[in-house]
Structure 1
Amino acid sequence: MPVAADSGGRWALGFWGELGDRIVGAPSILAADFANLAEDVRRAQRGGAELVHFDAMDNQFVPNLTVGPVVAASLVEAIDLPVDAHLMVDSPDNLIPPFIEAGVASISVQPEAVTHLHRTLTMIRAGGCEAGVALNPTTPPEFIEWALPYLDYVLVMTVNPGFGGQSFIPEMADKVRRLKEMTDLPIQVDGGITAETAPIMVGAGAQVLVAGSAVYKGDAEVEMRKIIDAARGAG
């Protein structure tokens, strides 16, 4: 868990701080079997996954309702991978403390839903988690320019948030390239990521590939490995 900042303002410890140049696969639990959630995560882990992406939706910011910190806490206890919580919610400050208490490793928020982003990111880091922002497809990278010193990673949504199984938006590769011109922070991508689209995003500069429907459409171990191998081949 992150405990101290280095001279550049980045946290010295934690998944994102230790990522280096590695390319990583992360299953999205949104597409998993919630009755067998921990085992579904383990299947993806056997395929090489190193992070779990946990989508929290409130039926307000996005038109869907999923799970919250109670489920996150149970999952953290049941698996041995770090859990990355993506809060697709209005007023995320209300949920940050219980997600920190749940033991997640990192938390990303939607800057479109936050009034005081500096305060929100500071809250996440002060609680011992790494902090990220997630950008909707039409939100420009410049929107977070002044927040970059307080971030540990950036998540680029490659579909509109809210539902799994959507089609990949190819223009998001250009957004990743623009972000790489602005910052050396790790970039995560989520939405329509498959063995075919993962190399495109890695070529643009993404390192952490979130995949849900493509992983859980069949054997999660096999499908996760296909995506990681394709991505690393491009890298």
Structure 2
Amino acid sequence: MVKIAPSILSADFCNLEREIQRVQTADLLHVDVMDGAFVPNITLGLPVVRSIRKHTDMQLDLHLMIDKPVRYVAQFCEAGADLVSVHLESDHPQNIQKALDIMGEYGVKKAVALRPITSPEAILPYIDQLDMVLVMTVEPGFGGQPFIESQLKTITRVWEIIQAHNPSCDLEVDGGINPSTARRVVEAGANVLVVGSALYEAPDLSAAMAALRVTE
């Protein structure tokens, strides 16, 4: 079954509680954390995550687009994350492993994320312990970017690795997802779709979500 993870990066931040309520029927709430160092943008941080946690029971899917995430993983877990993704490009392998270990200590689901420049094989040292792999189909940092078609091959290869080593691991795709691209990434192996503007800018959000759910 395809899971939908609305990205609040595309929401109206002046009315964030309302915007979260609009997507309550989704499976996860995707929260992009950017630091202006790992990516050239700054979004929200710990205080906002804590506030979100107080106002929704949705599963919080935190995507840490930050440099050396091991420094902050414990704090984001304490703030209410249910799942945390750290980018493989953001630190040395030993610190990526340490970040995953911290998630395990807090009982938070573990994920790693890949930029378009990163080989699918980079997940191999971690795959046995992961709950999810996140494949970016845009360069991380800004919403509303066009879908990178060549990433379909990466999605397929990540799916093959998951099937060989950890079939219960989810495969999430983030970037340029709409009803057209959603169908292709699901065919390539994805089962979790991060959707921003295609939901929040749709004339009928409920209809847009329903269209995404029929991509199987």
Q: Quick check: TM above 0.5?
A: yes
Tell me how far apart the structure 2 counterparts of residues 28 and 181 of structure 1 sit (CA, whole Å).
26
Query: Gaps (5+ residues) in structure 1?
Result: 1-21
Q: Does 1:157 align with 2:154?
A: no
Amino acid at match of 2:134: L
Aligned match for 2:100, one of 121, 131, 153: 121
Partner of 1:198: 182
Q: Does 1:42 align with 2:21?
A: yes
Partner of 1:226: 211
Partner of 1:107: 84
Tell me how far apart the structure 2 counterparts of residues 148 and 197 of structure 1 sit (CA, whole Å).
26
Deviation at 1:126, TM superposition (A): 1.0
Deviation at 1:123, TM superposition (A): 1.0
Deviation at 1:195, TM superposition (A): 0.7
Amino acid at match of 2:128: P
Deviation at 1:146, TM superposition (A): 1.0
Partner of 1:178: 157
The answer as to whether partners of 1:83 and 1:105 remain within 8 angstroms in 2 is yes
Kindly report which structure 2 residues correspond to 1:39-78, keeping only aligned pairs within 5 A, or say none: 39-45=18-24, 48-78=25-55
Amino acid at match of 1:78: H
Aligned match for 2:198, one of 201, 211, 214: 214
Query: What secondary structure sits across from 1:86 in the alignment?
Result: strand
Tell me how far apart the structure 1 counterparts of residues 46 and 104 of structure 2 sit (CA, whole Å).
17
Deviation at 1:103, TM superposition (A): 1.1
1:5-24 C-alpha deviation (Å, 9 max, x unpaired): xxxxxxxxxxxxxxxxx211
1:115-144 C-alpha deviation (Å, 9 max, x unpaired): 122211111111110010010011011112
The answer as to whether partners of 1:187 and 1:206 remain within 8 angstroms in 2 is yes
Query: What secondary structure sits across from 2:84 in the alignment?
Result: strand
Query: Gaps (5+ residues) in structure 2?
Result: none
The answer as to whether partners of 1:27 and 1:224 remain within 8 angstroms in 2 is no
Tell me how far apart the structure 2 counterparts of residues 225 and 80 of structure 1 sit (CA, whole Å).
21
1:191-215 C-alpha deviation (Å, 9 max, x unpaired): 0000111010110110000010111
Tell me how far apart the structure 2 counterparts of residues 202 and 99 of structure 1 sit (CA, whole Å).
29
Aligned residues, how many? 208
Tell me how far apart the structure 1 counterparts of residues 197 and 66 of structure 2 sit (CA, whole Å).
22
Partner of 1:31: 10
Tell me how far apart the structure 2 counterparts of residues 171 and 39 of structure 1 sit (CA, whole Å).
36
Deviation at 1:222, TM superposition (A): 2.9
Tell me how far apart the structure 2 counterparts of residues 156 and 128 of structure 1 sit (CA, whole Å).
23
Deviation at 1:226, TM superposition (A): 2.2
Percentage of identical aligned residues: 42
Tell me how far apart the structure 1 counterparts of residues 43 and 20 of structure 2 sit (CA, whole Å).
17
1:149-194 C-alpha deviation (Å, 9 max, x unpaired): 2211100001000000000011111111111211122100000000
TM-score, length-scaled by structure 1: 0.85
Tell me how far apart the structure 2 counterparts of residues 125 and 35 of structure 1 sit (CA, whole Å).
34
Deviation at 1:77, TM superposition (A): 1.3
Query: What secondary structure sits across from 1:146 in the alignment?
Result: coil
